[in-house]
Structure 1
Amino acid sequence: MSSTNRSVAIIGAGQTGISAAVGFLNAGFDVTVYSDRDQAGLFRDVSATGTAVTFGLSQESEAALGVDTFAGRAPQVTGISARTITGSGHDYTELLDFDADFPGFEAIGVDTRLKVDERITQFQDKGGTFLVEEVDPDRLDTIAGQHDLTLVATGKGGLSTLFSVDEARSPYKSPQRSVLLLTVEGLDHGPDVFAHRSAAGGKHQAFNFADQGEGWWGPYLHKDAGPSWSFLGWAQPGSEWERRFQSVTDAHSAHKVVIDLHREYFDWDLPEVLRTRVIAEDPHSWLQGAVTPTVRNALGHTASGHRITALGDTAVAYDPITGQGAQSGFIQAAGLVAAAKDHQGEFDDVWITETYNKFLTSRVDAANLATRIFLRDPVFADYASVLFPAAATNPKFGAALFGLLSDPSPVLSINSVDDAKSLITAVAGEDADSILAKFAPVGRFSRSELDALASAI
């Protein structure tokens, strides 16, 4: 039941849109969600749009919106193990190896379809209106004229073109990686899994960096299989990896690509990978594609001049290497709900712009910079060449480096290599040059001793 006498329309029922809808409903607004698929179709007939891993601050935003964070339900993730190789072809050097606990938070990876399904039910049980229809620009014009606030959360395509690109915050004109996502079962989360990388075993994510791209494994809660693992691979444009990723046509071919990648590049993890199997009941357990990182201006107008506001991926599309997409959407949604609840006037151009600018400066600018550093953007290569060796050498700084996945704001202090060293010194309590002087290439990583399946796959 509305207590504000104000109405909100949300176009798009992805995890950010439906989570914002619950938040606005809890704040006393009359809320209508428009979706191009019904609830069953969103659960059964689409791929998960990502691993949807959330960390400390984004989980706090989910809680503020009044939606379940899945803490205690999804596999517990307490840290991350990172390994880096470098070299041409398959002649590479095993360079960097470190394992770090997350500083003061845990990560949670949940199937976006499961989150959306539960939140649609919650939204409707609380009295929200859920309408199934395609919304084109003409229909959006009508909807925006009927509501006090209209949010567009349809993702990176479609209606996102109604919002102009913030060129200053969008340095890329093409994707920086091709991405392959695959969720699998057959591997548990016990202490023997990835034990060669971490004493925490299956409670830590596993991240591998190579010249052609990156590969990541994370504990996951799948909508059908329950506790499982999710793989994300990133391929450099024009690389052999990219050609492999683009050859994928189904979950089984994706699984073969992932296995072959580990046989040839990351053999230390191969026994774990060979234990995995495709989730047979879910033909949509994989996804292949690419994202051009883009920041758009949140304020837009329909043909008749009605205001619309970009939300989630419609507003900011990140490369997923640092998991900022899902997190950023929840943080933006929570900020919008809090600002709207306390606002007494019209949701005019000034209010929309000021609210969004706070989000840009408090989250997006830092999240984009952290993502570019993890992508090893040549512009920031000198920073990465200092930060990652320091993380491998000093456990305290290693934890802080991956703490950036939750709160990336410390990177805003870095404008030079000296700034990066100052951050290392401040976090570690030891001079950065002293820390870096201790760094030496690993030489050879420890290999998994987990019993593998017969390699007939």
Structure 2
Amino acid sequence: MTTPTSTRSAAVIGAGQTGVTAALGLLDAGFEVTLYSDRDQRALRDDVPATGTALEFGETQQAEAALGLDTYTARAPRHTGLSVRIAGPQREELIQFDGHFEGYAGVAVDTRLKADERLTAFRERGGRFVVEQITPESLDAIAAAADLTLVATGRGGLSDLFPVDESRSPYTAPQRSLLTVTVTGLGHDESVFAHRSRAGGAHSGFSILADQGEGWWGPYLHKDAGPSWAFLGWARPGSEWEKRFGTADSAESALRVVRDLYRDHIDWDLPEVLAAEVIADDPHSWLKGAVRPVVRAGAGHTAGGHPVASLGDTSAAYDPIAGQGAQSGLIQAQRLVAAAAVHDGPFDAEWITRQYQAFLAARGDAANRVTRLFLGDPEFADIGGNLFAAAAVDPRFASALVGLLHRPAPFQRVDSLDTAGQFITEVTGEDAAALLASFEPAGRFSRSTFTGSLTATT
């Protein structure tokens, strides 16, 4: 057990992956830490769904390692690249490429597993865990007693303490409806999704249908089943897919929706999808919903005027299409812990805001822009068209484009077709216009011939 070396105290509201990571980090930095949750530890592990797939790449793993935490790279099946297919509104098969992750690998870990293991470590090392529904009123007393208070959940009106940053929040509503389900029945060797990549099951598969939405399959570490696969789908508002997503009411029905979706729209991956099986022992292995992408202020105040800091999804709710939510939350937590550990003065609103602005400059703003790129935001439509076409032509640029999921910073300066061209040229060494002129539509994607464990056909 770690004995605190400081009389400073911290309170963390919310025991999800980001909140408990920050709490454990502050505890190890010498703070007396109290972590609040509206559910007990067993319920947090077994009575709720995982909040997305939480796919993390090198920069996030570095942040976890800096806190002395398990990055799960030795336990989870690794993502070593991303295979992309893009079809037009008339189902014309336009763009295909296979980008390799260079110098890093991704891991997608059940957030319930990660939070549970870190909560266990937090309690064993002397952290105080309180099961209580926190309201804006009760938060006032908590913040009054603590030197530093982090709010890592927006439930119960807590997010309203942090004003929306309208300049960073261009959407007034969710841009996609979401459906996710975790499955077994597939391995991770080169025979799985072999039609997409020589790497097979080591690469995630991403399909974009211009008029409907997007579908993603990737290796996953489930809290009970271990190495597995996760599907995550995004349906455009008003689309046929959105109606289908809405009919899911269990893991079994969610998987049926996905199978029918691939039969009707994405047949190139169908055999693998038919081989997938639900995790029967986990009724919460699926999720549907919608997220309005929004960025809030880093600092807020309770009714009594006590400063509190937003953290994770409370700071910025990203659409999960580019996998930036969990990554940014963990990086933000690590940066806050590191700054707090060496700070001698008060943790006032000025200090909180300064740390948040530094995080936005280092990661948050670029992650927001990359998410909008993958959402097909009209502001980035022409830019995205050129970038994805360049990826189809040149494997080096394919790796650079999918590398934005790991390190989004290079996209921060891409704000026009000219700067997009400069980005292409910098990566490939080729004239961007000449490279793009050589692009030809895919014509027809390779279809899967996978025959392994085809036990589920309905």
TM bracket, shorter-chain basis: over 0.9
Q: Return the alpha-carbon distance in structure 2 between the equivalents of residues 156 and 51 of structure 1.
A: 21
What residue number does 2:214 align with?
A: 214
What residue number does 1:344 align with?
A: 344
Given that 2:312 and 2:328 are in contact with CA atoms closer than 8 Å, whether structure 1 keeps it comes out as yes
TM-score, with structure 1 as normaliser: 0.98
Given that 1:165 and 1:296 are in contact with CA atoms closer than 8 Å, whether structure 2 keeps it comes out as yes
What residue number does 1:99 align with?
A: 98
> Could you report, residue by residue, the CA deviation over 1:322-376 in whole angstroms, capped at 9, with x for unpaired residues?
0000000011001101111111101112111111110111111111111111111
Amino acid at match of 2:402: F
What residue number does 1:12 align with?
A: 14
Given that 2:190 and 2:200 are in contact with CA atoms closer than 8 Å, whether structure 1 keeps it comes out as yes
- Size of the alignment, in residue pairs? 454
Equivalent residue of 1:280, what SS? Answer: coil
Name the stretch that deviates more: 57-66 or 191-200.
57-66
Deviation at 1:224, TM superposition (A): 1.2
Given that 1:35 and 1:132 are in contact with CA atoms closer than 8 Å, whether structure 2 keeps it comes out as yes
Deviation at 1:231, TM superposition (A): 0.3
Q: Return the alpha-carbon distance in structure 1 between the equivalents of residues 154 and 324 of structure 2.
A: 14
1:45 aligns with 2:28: no
What residue number does 2:159 align with?
A: 160
Q: Return the alpha-carbon distance in structure 2 between the equivalents of residues 25 and 355 of structure 1.
A: 19
What residue number does 2:415 align with?
A: 415
- Aligned-residue sequence identity (percent) comes to 59
What residue number does 1:308 align with?
A: 308
Given that 2:275 and 2:457 are in contact with CA atoms closer than 8 Å, whether structure 1 keeps it comes out as no
Structure 1 pair 157/317, CA: closer, same or farther in 2 (3 Å)?
Answer: farther
Q: Return the alpha-carbon distance in structure 1 between the equivalents of residues 56 and 336 of structure 2.
A: 19
Q: Return the alpha-carbon distance in structure 2 between the equivalents of residues 225 and 155 of structure 1.
A: 30
Alignment gaps of 5+ in structure 2:
none
Q: Return the alpha-carbon distance in structure 1 between the equivalents of residues 238 and 87 of structure 2.
A: 19
What residue number does 1:447 align with?
A: 447
Given that 1:156 and 1:313 are in contact with CA atoms closer than 8 Å, whether structure 2 keeps it comes out as no
Deviation at 1:190, TM superposition (A): 1.1
Q: Map 1:12-411; keep pairs closer than 5 Å.
A: 12-88=14-90, 92-155=91-154, 158-211=157-210, 212-411=212-411
Given that 1:26 and 1:66 are in contact with CA atoms closer than 8 Å, whether structure 2 keeps it comes out as no
Runs (4 or more) in structure 1 with deviation over 2 Å come to 155-158, 452-456
Q: Return the alpha-carbon distance in structure 2 between the equivalents of residues 288 and 35 of structure 1.
A: 23
Equivalent residue of 1:404, what SS? Answer: helix
Q: Return the alpha-carbon distance in structure 1 between the equivalents of residues 36 and 312 of structure 2.
A: 15
Q: Return the alpha-carbon distance in structure 2 between the equivalents of residues 141 and 214 of structure 1.
A: 42
Amino acid at match of 1:243: K
Deviation at 1:454, TM superposition (A): 6.1
Equivalent residue of 1:184, what SS? Answer: strand
TM-score, with structure 2 as normaliser: 0.98
Alignment gaps of 5+ in structure 1:
none
Deviation at 1:158, TM superposition (A): 3.6
Given that 1:32 and 1:131 are in contact with CA atoms closer than 8 Å, whether structure 2 keeps it comes out as yes
Given that 1:83 and 1:97 are in contact with CA atoms closer than 8 Å, whether structure 2 keeps it comes out as yes
Q: Return the alpha-carbon distance in structure 1 between the equivalents of residues 76 and 162 of structure 2.
A: 35
Amino acid at match of 1:50: G
Equivalent residue of 2:88, what SS? Answer: strand
Deviation at 1:66, TM superposition (A): 2.2
Given that 1:11 and 1:152 are in contact with CA atoms closer than 8 Å, whether structure 2 keeps it comes out as yes
